[in-house]
Structure 1
Amino acid sequence: MDIGRSRGWRSSETLCRRLGGVCRRSGGGGLGVDSLNGQRCLVTGAGGFIGQVLVRKLLAAGAIVHAPGRTELDLDVESSIRRTVRGFAPEKVFHLAAKGVTGASSLEALRETNVHGTRRLIAELNLLRHSPTVTLLGSGFEYAAKETPLKEEDALSPFSDYGISKLEAAAAAREVASGLSVTWVRLFNVYGPGESLGRLLPHIVSQSRQGLPVEVTAGEQLRDFTHVDDVAEGIMRLAARPTASPGWEVFNLGTGTATRLHAFMSLVVAALASHGVVSDLRLGARPYRSGEPMVYLPDVSRLQKAVGWLPAKPLDKGVSDVVSQAILP
């Protein structure tokens, strides 16, 4: 493993030596993340949608980042976790590795990575001589459905296998994290460049560019859409704040703004039209999914109070940027 300094910043230090090295970019971060400068940060799931952005931002903040790939860090194997954790000795840990966001895995497969893998990682971190602060990603899918914005203390009753696995992961982590300061961050609707093709925005872009119809629901669902850049920023701000050790805190991460799904889709269609791409968006062509909540929104007052910040990227600008990046060479 080498510690490198970038010249002109080449693609997040080529995504931390292609997810296998320890990287550092000289320079400090922005307001709210200055304490991460020089910190040894372990990021699991660094090659994922959110992980790639987080690595880039951590390096820009001056952190020393270790982004192990799956061949180095296998969450199913205790010895692999032990080598990584003890070899790097992180001061901050960002555990993003997970399965099942797109709903393609069975509950048992989700449990193996999301629950048991998380338990193994936290248990090993708890054995270090020092106590790293840990940030874990949860999901709004952990909550029971509610017609008003969800607060961190609201009832938990997942309506999806992914939500079940995340709820169980939180319980497993809390059980073995007795000596650690842990922050559990519940995410909601995250969008941005790099989303998997099965998700709504890239699906609309892909279908439209091929001249195919886009069959969707009527789009009356209320959602809170947060750009991935803001999500990574929020995760870093929560990790950078002073915390009690040991301790366990839960935060929702979102903008605090509700948007109808059809309005979000209209923004995508308008952005495509600005590039000469016509969309055949067929609202109501598909029924709502069984059990899907019509209202799925976070209350973000706890986040705002803790870090004095909320995501700020306007939705229309964020969508336009994502579409432009997908279309322009």
Structure 2
Amino acid sequence: MKRVLVTGGGGFIGRETLGPLRALGFEVDAPGRAELDLLNGDPAAWFAAHPASHLLHLAWDATPGKFWTAPSNLDWVAASLRLVRAFAVSGGTRAVVAGSCAEYDWGHATLDETRTPLRPATLYGTAKANLFELLDKAAPGLDLSFAWGRVFFPYGPDEAAGRLLPDVIDGIAQGRRVAVSDGTQSRDFMHVEDVGAAFATLLAGDVTGAVNIASGTTTPVREVILTAAAHAGDASLLDWGARARQASEPQYMAAATARLHATGFVPRWPLADGLADTVARRLAR
């Protein structure tokens, strides 16, 4: 039996990996912080009591508006190194860790795992990029099959308040005016259920190294905002340009997805259907 430890299994992405992992034949452990405290606890003790053949590490500080510069990024690098090393020493053989498109040099329009350099503009991106490089170099010596999933722009009904789409949907539904950016930038959006399934497929396979977790389709942010607002109610409540963009934020970000497709992953959600689903399920909560 394949057994996987999923960290962050109760989070936005993590909960969407559990069903796909079980469907792929995994026995899943997804402990909460009270059971496995990665920042303060001993992961070696966990693996001694709960041996795992696979590790899917998603846990990190993702507090909206704060995670880009949070000092806790340093703590999560250290905790992640301890976790992966303890997993390998315990006999684990396959690990997948969540990274971010924030690792890349955003001066490149298309972000490709094999060609685009890593030159992060934020502390968060720097922490993720450094962790990837350390684990990628260490994996052979740990006798570990290692892959790194660089997440682009997930969305879904349970996304935390304080992020773009939840603020648009909740504000419009409540009849409030909603501040948004000018929306002229373009991004790769992926339904969180597809993100979860992509991670499960990556873990179950043998592809190593960095893999973009993205749809492969780039859409103007303005179009996404308008679609979500129309499903939620009155799009005229949008205040365009009233929400500041990050100074380092690029105009265009596209993801290369050939390596993801090589895992056998097949997405379920076209963007239009995914946005309709997101709004309907969020408003029904």
Per the normalisation by structure 1, the TM-score is: 0.80
Structure with the greater relative contact order (CA < 8 A, sep ≥ 6): 1 or 2? 2
**Quick check: 1:100–1:110 contact (8 Å CA) kept in 2?**
no
**Quick check: 2:24–2:204 contact (8 Å CA) kept in 1?**
no
Q: Does 1:280 align with 2:237?
A: yes
Deviation of the 1:260 alpha carbon: 0.1
* Letter paired with 1:185: G
What residue number does 1:230 align with?
194
* Gap runs ≥5 in structure 2: none
Q: 1:288 to 1:69 in 2, by over 3 A?
A: closer
Q: 4+ runs of 1 displaced by more than 4 Å?
A: none
Q: 1:152 to 1:199 in 2, by over 3 A?
A: same
The superposition leaves residues 161-180 of structure 1 with CA deviations (integer Å, 9 ceiling, x where unpaired) of 21111112213323543221
Distance in 2 (CA, whole Å) between partners of 1:147 and 1:65 is 38
The correspondence of residues 103-252 of structure 1 with structure 2, limited to 5 A, is 103-105=65-67, 106-113=69-76, 115-128=77-90, 130-153=91-114, 154-177=116-139, 178=141, 179-242=143-206, 248-252=208-212
Deviation of the 1:147 alpha carbon: 4.3
Q: Give SS of 2:89's match.
A: coil
Q: 1:252 to 1:146 in 2, by over 3 A?
A: same
Q: Give SS of 2:209's match.
A: strand
The superposition leaves residues 164-223 of structure 1 with CA deviations (integer Å, 9 ceiling, x where unpaired) of 111122133235432211100101000012110011111011211222111111101110
What residue number does 1:88 align with?
50
Q: Give SS of 1:250's match.
A: strand
Q: Which moved further from structure 2: 204-213 or 249-258?
A: 204-213
Match of 1:102 among 64, 85, 88: 64
* Gap runs ≥5 in structure 1: 1-37
Distance in 1 (CA, whole Å) between partners of 2:63 and 2:131 is 14
Q: Which moved further from structure 2: 204-213 or 263-272?
A: 204-213
Distance in 2 (CA, whole Å) between partners of 1:252 and 1:93 is 18
Q: Give SS of 2:217's match.
A: coil
Q: Does 1:297 align with 2:254?
A: yes
What residue number does 2:221 align with?
261
* Letter paired with 2:3: R
Q: 1:86 to 1:279 in 2, by over 3 A?
A: farther
Deviation of the 1:111 alpha carbon: 1.1
Q: Does 1:319 align with 2:283?
A: no
Distance in 1 (CA, whole Å) between partners of 2:122 and 2:163 is 16
Q: Does 1:271 align with 2:231?
A: yes
What residue number does 2:4 align with?
41
Deviation of the 1:48 alpha carbon: 0.4
Deviation of the 1:131 alpha carbon: 3.6
Per the normalisation by structure 2, the TM-score is: 0.92
| Structure with greater Cα Rg | 1
